Structure formats: C-alpha cells, structure tokens
Structure 1
Amino acid sequence: MTSTDRAGDPRAEDEPGAAPQARTAGAPGPAVPGAAGSLAAAYTGADAADTEADAADAGAEAADSGADVADGATGPTGPRPRARRPLRTSGIVLVAITVAAAAGVAATGALGGESDGSASTAPTAPPNTTKVERTTLTATETVDGSLGYGDLSTLQAPAAPGTTGTDSGTDSGSGQSAPGGGPAPDDASQGAGIITWLPDDGTTIRRGETVYSVDDRAVPLLYGSTPFYRTLAPGTGGDDVEILEKNLSELGYTGFTVDQEYTTGTAGAVRDWQEDLGRAETGTVAPGDAVVAEGARRVAEVRTVPGAAPSGALLTWSDTERVVTVDLDVQYEDLVEKGTGAGIVLPDGTTAEGEVTAVGTPATPEEEAAASGGSGPAEDEEPTLPVEFTVRDQKKLGSYQAASVDVTLKAGTRENVLVVPVSALVARPGGGYAVEAAGPDGTEYLPVELGMFAAGKVEISGDGIEDGLSVGVPK
C-alpha cells in the first residue's frame, strides 16, 4: 500500500472545531482547519504541492473577478509530499481548493461586517443556494489492495516408507511437514513408484477427490491439521486416527465410532474406502496414502510431470476463496481489527462488501525487502501491517482471479450533525469561516465552527445554523 503522512492522528482530525492553520500573509485563500485539511488533502489523492498550486490558481481567478484578499488572510499548509504515492482518503475534501473557489462567491474582503465574529449582511442574494441538512457523515480511507487466492503452499511428495514415524503410540505429533502434505523428504529419501496422473492448474480439489496418482493408485485429499506420519492400524490411537475417522464418516462410510481409537470397525470402513479407490484392501493407512490439508484447495501450479518419480515439490496450491490483501501503513492500524467491514472496489467500479479476517505482525521495510529479494527500502518508507479481507459473497467478485483493487476503510463517523457542501464556506476577514444565509429580506453571513469533512460536505455549527436553512454556494 502507498500513502502520504498526515498531520496528527487521523481520528483526531474529525474533532469538531479544530483550530485553523494559517497561510503566510498575502497568500490566496482563507484559513483552513489543519486536521481536516490534511485529511482532505489525503482524499484528493494528489501531492500537497499540487494542492497548493490548485489553491493558488483558484485564488488568482478570484482576484481576477475583482475580489480583494485581505493582507492578513490565512490559508492551507499541507504536509510535505513523500516519495510514495499518496494514500487516498475518499470523501474528505480539500479545504484549500474549496475555499479558494468560495472566494469567487465572496472573497475575504467582500464580506464586510465585523471582525469580532458578529453576523454581517450582504446587499444581494447569492447566485445559487442549497439547504443545511441534518445527516450522518462517514469519513473513509481508501488504500491499495490485491485480489487473489492468498498465500501459496507447496505440496511435497511423501518420504519413502520407513524413513519417518512409528507403527504405534498415542502421540500424534506433526513433525516437520510441508503445508498440506506429508513430511518433506531428504534428498536421499524419495517416494517409490511413478506419477501417473496430475491435476490441471486452477483445479479445485475437495475432500475425497484425487490430488495425484502413483502407479495408477489415487492419492485423495482429506481434511485435517495433522498429516499422516505413521501407519494407522487396529490398536493405534491419537489425533490422526480421529482425523481419518471424521473424513471416512463425512464420505459416507459407517460401522465405527469417530474417536481417537482405530478399531476393527475402523479397519472395515478403511477397506471399503480402499476398494472404492481401486487400491489394495489392507484395512490400514500408511503415510502417503492420502494428503491432509485444512480444507479444499485450488491448484496454482503443477511442479512435476506424469512419468516422474514422486519426489520433491509436486505442486503449489492455495485456498479456494479469493481474498484481498493490503500492506497497511502502521499509523492506520487502529482502523482494522478482525470483523471490521470494508468496501472492495473492483477494476470495473463495482463494490463488494469485505471483512477483515486476519491482521498480521508489522513488517519493517528492511524485512519486506529481504523477503522479496529486493535491494532495500526507500529512506522515507515506514513499516506496514499485512491485513487480509474476505468477501463472503464470492459471486460479487465476478470473474476476477487476480487484480488490483481499492479497499475503503471507515475512518470516523459523526451522527445527527448539520452539514453543508464545503463550497458553501466563506472566509471571514478576522479569520475563520461563515456561510451566506439567504432569507426573504436578503442575506447575512453567519460565523460557523467546522467539524468533520466527508463526501464533499462539512459539519458546521453556530448561532442561527439550523436544518433547512438556505445558504449560498457558487454557480
């Protein structure tokens, strides 16, 4: 994910009545709330330098229209742009640009009135009006994400019989095994036989289905957390026995109790299972007779070919559900926790609802570079936090298998507040802001305090500000 620094805690910027920051004397545009302004700058997705240039251009246009800017006017001071592409903050509007545009309606010097904060009257009605409305504002952060099938794991061929495990005992032990498969073999220990069948890339394999075949004998997938590391036979017991029995039961085999004891009933069910697989009906299960994984798997890449010996890496695979991953700047980590909702914006503009399902440990740029084999991080890069989002309704993702997406996170909410378009704000000669209230007898400028900026609107409060009040906005 890429981002720009923002002044202070992003949540603090949502506080109503945040103190304005001052621009140097003579600069175009009015004072800008510092915190909200920096949030707004993030929203535009542009560098702070571009922002100030835009504000200056807008101010120049206002000056051309005959509006004088007071010598003591203040304006925005955005954060210094970083080398990385800016974090986009959706719905938070750049105050500097908007207020400069508002200068076209009423420049600082054109307000008249008093600098002590009292309301002032305007001689004519504004060219266009809108209503103050009561609503809920939600500020959001938009970050870069990647849609895919999550992390890949490698399925290793099982070790040759007799090189690992025991024939009895109750300790199931997991050993040093490859994800979703049996123990990784030593160079001198390779499985026997010849590979006779392999799945295609992109194939989804579920419980009981064949992962690969050796000597025309199917090796099926079973669900569980412990790979088979020893021969299971009547008299053995442990977690691996329970995994076997759970799978046999789910596949429809009966005549045994699902527990941690391998009984003669279990052996009978195993023989039935082996018959259906076209294998010798031994009633016992050896390492390599089945692949054990947490659930259904999707083949990413087959790493061997039929006719080869079953040794080393056979294939890479992943979960079957598409997920979105984000490398989140750690300064925004309080925006995410397990269960947090998010909007996933796809390349075609449609949005799917996502949910945080995993939050990792922050990684430093040096660690990320080492993991990726890069030459090293940029000097101004900060640690990032790996975050995974799951989309419950996978149909919403359409046919996308891998894509760059936008992830929209909720940054703050203000309920039941009075708001106006940001363009309704007018700079006051003594500092601060007003709105041009329109009534039957003319208009007056009412001083306002500013709160949250979001979705092109701003929270306002002050004497005379009420739901339904007409206020001036630019044409």
Structure 2
Amino acid sequence: MTGRLAAGSLILAAVCATTAVIVFGGHGDEPVTHDAVPTALAEITQQDLADTTTATGIVGYGRERPLAAATSGTVTALPAIGSTVRRGGVLFKVDQVPTVLLYGKVPAYRTLRPGVRGADVRQLEENLRELGYRGFTVDDVFGRESTRAVRKWQKDLGVKQTGVVELGRVVFQPGAVRVNDQTAGPGTLVRPGSPLLTVTGSAHLVTVRLDETEYRLARIGATATVRTPAGEQVQGKVATAQFVVNSDQAGTTTKVELTVAIGAVGYDRAAVDVTLVSEVRKDVLTVPVAALLALSEGGYGVELADGRIVPVRTGLFAGGRVEVSGQGLTAGLKVGMPT
C-alpha cells in the first residue's frame, strides 16, 4: 500500500511513527514503478522559493538614547519635542553656549586641541568638511590647519574663536536625531551628567521582536515587507538586529529584536504586519510538501502520474512547498497527492 506523510515540521514525527512507508525494489536514485497510479495530482513547478515569517511590529523611530549635559550651568535653550536636528544643528544651550550635533560613531570624550590624534579628530574634520569648511586635510591629527577651520566654524556659531573644541561643545551621533522628550527645561540648573533630552533616529523604523529560535531572520540588509493599517504594502530592509534579554518574576526570556527601515509613513506607534525573508532559492523545482513519500530505506520520494516513484533530494521548505531534485524530474510533470 502506498501511504503519504505530512512533511515540513511533521515529517520526522510521522516517519518515527512508521504509519506509512514505501518499499522499493530498486537501488539508489533509480525510479521504481508502483502497481497503482495516483488519482489526485499536483504539478512540479520551477520557481523562486522564499522562506518567510510574518510577525507584528510597531512603527516608530527606534530605541531612545539619552543626551546629558557635559558642563555645569543653566539650561537656556532646548529643541522642541518631535523636531529633527541635523549635522551642525544646535541640540541645546547651557549658559547660552550651544552644544552642536555632529555625525560619528565615536562619542565625544575629551577636549580636541592642537596636537591631539585619534578617530574623534578625524570625525570632527569630516564634519567640518561636510559643513563647507576647507583648507585642511582630513586625518587623525589636529594640526594648525584644523585649528583655523575650527575658528571659522566657531565664528559662524557666534562663540569664542579659540580653535579648541572643549568637551561638551559637540555630541557625536550616527546621524540626524529626532527629539523624543525633554528631561529638563529652560532654567534648570545642571551639572555634567544631568539628563536633558532623549532622542531617536530621524527615519521611520518598525521594531519587531521574535523568538530567539528565529535568529536566522537577523540578517542586516534582508528584505522585508510591511503591511500598514490601511492595507498598503511598504518595502523595507532590516537595519539592526540584536538579542534582548528580559528578566522578571516569571524568569528570563531572550528575544531577537529587529528594526526595519522604511520610508516615511503616516503612522506612529501603530501595529503593522512585517514579513521577513530569511532565505531565497532561485529557479528551483518544487512540489507540495504533501506530495513527499517517506521511503523505507530513508529519505523521500515522489510518485509520478504513471505510478513511478522517484527518490528526491529535498532543499528549502517554504509556503507549503519544498525544493526537490531527482532523476528525470522537470517542471510540468505531475506528482501524486494524498486523497
């Protein structure tokens, strides 16, 4: 008797239960003819096969980041909540002295003056160049030409032209920031470390949390499709991926947190469906998973419309279909299905 087993996540369980196997009289990958022919048929297709997962995400701007004062004094100016600050813009003022946003990965941690060297010097010079200042070489050395460029920049800011960038005068961030909240207000007395603002990135992101077993989806640059509350489909790409550990009275759980970069949408803090692609197999032969037969000698096969049983090698399982290859299999052939 020819029996058929469900495949995918249930194949192993079904095989172990030994409820249905096919006994071959042939050898290796050679087809064997079966006495009966199948009555229900499906077509072998040649197509792209994608492994996808759909999860719920929240539209926002990504994780909040705190910004703190680096000097003592009185807060005299803060940007409005919801506003965007870009390179060269003022993040806040303490005693009417501005702290300016510049782009870079290395945080500001020291005073930059003639003679110092390092990646933070290069970041400063890269920003000065992007802001239109010239006459210096972008490198890791704060030289005389760098000092002259800093003085010109300070003149345009309306501050003392010292040629020295004191700690607290700039904040390095990866890019433009959106002001999420003010944690102080004008007139507040602050000291180094006093919180002033929380910021996020300026671009819309969808944050998705998945079980840690789905870490395969954590591929930076992978394609994602976002379905908005209005039913629109927006294309995006995975921008960040990290493991997040939460501990509470119930115990410790680990999740994979992804952010998906999308264009501007008219929603904030809205729940959306996010379809993530973990793997794509191009131009492969596929059959319905239910068409697979478990073979007594191990592995799987498919039964053709004429009763021949062909051993197959399986690949990606996705969307109810499975990638297969085997002797004589071509697109358009019919395979048996359970009835």
Matched, 1:238 2:129: no
User: Following the alignment from structure 1 to structure 2, what is the Cα–Cα distance between the partners of residues 228 and 306?
Assistant: 25
State whether residues 141 and 409 of structure 1, in contact with CA within 8 Å, keep that contact through their aligned partners in structure 2: yes
Partner of 1:342: 223
Structure 1 residues 295 and 418: CA distance shift in structure 2, 3 A: closer
User: Following the alignment from structure 2 to structure 1, what is the Cα–Cα distance between the partners of residues 50 and 100?
Assistant: 50
SS of the residue aligned with 1:244? helix
- Structure 1 length-normalised TM: 0.52
Can you list the C-alpha shifts for 1:168-195, whole angstroms capped at 9, x where unaligned? xxxxxxxxxxxxxxxxxxxxxxx12x32
Partner of 1:321: 203
State whether residues 145 and 407 of structure 1, in contact with CA within 8 Å, keep that contact through their aligned partners in structure 2: no
State whether residues 201 and 302 of structure 1, in contact with CA within 8 Å, keep that contact through their aligned partners in structure 2: yes
- Structure 2 length-normalised TM: 0.70
Partner of 1:33: 6
Partner of 1:368: 246
Gaps of 5+ in 2: 13-17, 21-31
SS of the residue aligned with 2:124? helix
Offset at residue 205 of structure 1 (A) = 1.2
Query: What is the letter of the counterpart of residue 319 of structure 2?
Result: A
What is the alpha-carbon root mean square deviation over aligned residues? Answer: 4.3
Query: What is the letter of the counterpart of residue 209 of structure 1?
Result: G
Q: Within 5 Å, give how 1:40-439 maps onto structure 2.
A: 74=19, 118-120=34-36, 131-159=43-71, 191-192=72-73, 194-224=74-104, 225-230=106-111, 232-233=112-113, 235-239=114-118, 240-311=120-191, 312-339=194-221, 341-347=222-228, 348=231, 350-355=233-238, 357-360=239-242, 362=243, 367-369=245-247, 374-377=248-251, 383-386=254-257, 388-391=258-261, 394-395=262-263, 398-404=265-271, 405-410=273-278, 413=281, 415-417=283-285, 419=287, 437=305
Higher-Rg structure is: 1
Offset at residue 303 of structure 1 (A) = 1.2
Offset at residue 268 of structure 1 (A) = 3.4
Offset at residue 350 of structure 1 (A) = 1.0
Structure 1 residues 455 and 245: CA distance shift in structure 2, 3 A: closer
User: Following the alignment from structure 1 to structure 2, what is the Cα–Cα distance between the partners of residues 285 and 453?
Assistant: 58
Structure 1 residues 277 and 34: CA distance shift in structure 2, 3 A: same
More helix by share: 1
Partner of 2:26: none
User: Following the alignment from structure 2 to structure 1, what is the Cα–Cα distance between the partners of residues 4 and 140?
Assistant: 72
State whether residues 344 and 352 of structure 1, in contact with CA within 8 Å, keep that contact through their aligned partners in structure 2: yes
Gaps of 5+ in 1: 1-19, 21-29, 40-72, 76-115, 160-190, 438-443
State whether residues 156 and 314 of structure 1, in contact with CA within 8 Å, keep that contact through their aligned partners in structure 2: yes
- Structure showing greater relative contact order (alpha-carbon pairs closer than 8 Å, 6 or more residues apart): 2
SS of the residue aligned with 1:229? coil
State whether residues 60 and 269 of structure 2, in contact with CA within 8 Å, keep that contact through their aligned partners in structure 1: yes
Q: How many residues align?
A: 309
Can you list the C-alpha shifts for 1:299-326, whole angstroms capped at 9, x where unaligned? 1111111222244110011222344444
Offset at residue 237 of structure 1 (A) = 1.7
SS of the residue aligned with 2:246? helix
